[in-house]
Structure 1
């Protein structure tokens, strides 16, 4: 991970791993809008942490990283045949 001008750069391989995709697919899926993301900066007791959330089809992949880019936590929610609930696309969820 790298931080530049309040932006977080996540290696495509990390995102691909979270969604069980081939690494070269990540950039094209992001360009087409099929894979989207959300970055939240920690406040209060979470200062110095970031929650990075990625959405693809019926799955959500989430990373919690510190200010140096170290991954502290990762999680995946897969809704199988059901569509990802809209509420999971909102910050703080």
Structure 2
């Protein structure tokens, strides 16, 4: 599976991420990620690009000190991603 296949954009413009990929990036099993999501520990954010970033979106998932972030195109193709671990939970 390529990175471009990991983010899906539907007709309304909403994005869907493959939970297994995000979980792996955060260092968890898919079950652990889903448990954190059910408990309300996962915060997501979608930011639309402006200016030279128009047509791109930044998708972010944060749980405690772990952050998974990706930049995707309007078609849902992931063009970059990162996983970061901060010193303090947000």
Report the TM-score when normalising by structure 1: 0.76
Query: What do residues 5-30 of structure 1 show as CA deviations (whole Å, max 9, x unaligned)?
Result: 23111110121122011123323321
Separation in 2, partners of 1:27, 1:3: 21
The residue number in structure 2 matching 1:28 is 35
**Structure 1 residues without counterparts, runs of 5 or longer:** 87-93
**Structure 2 residues without counterparts, runs of 5 or longer:** 1-6
Separation in 2, partners of 1:41, 1:14: 22
Question: Aligned to 2:28, what secondary structure does the other structure show?
Answer: coil
Report the TM-score when normalising by structure 2: 0.78
Instruction: Tell me whether 51-60 or 70-79 shows the greater mean CA deviation.
Output: 70-79
Instruction: Let me know the Cα RMSD of the aligned residues.
Output: 1.6
The residue number in structure 2 matching 1:42 is 49
Query: What do residues 38-65 of structure 1 show as CA deviations (whole Å, max 9, x unaligned)?
Result: 0111111111111001101111111111
Separation in 2, partners of 1:59, 1:26: 11
* Matching of residues 3-18 of structure 1 within 5 Å: 3-4=9-10, 5-18=12-25
Q: 1:83 aligns with which of 46, 65, 88?
A: 88
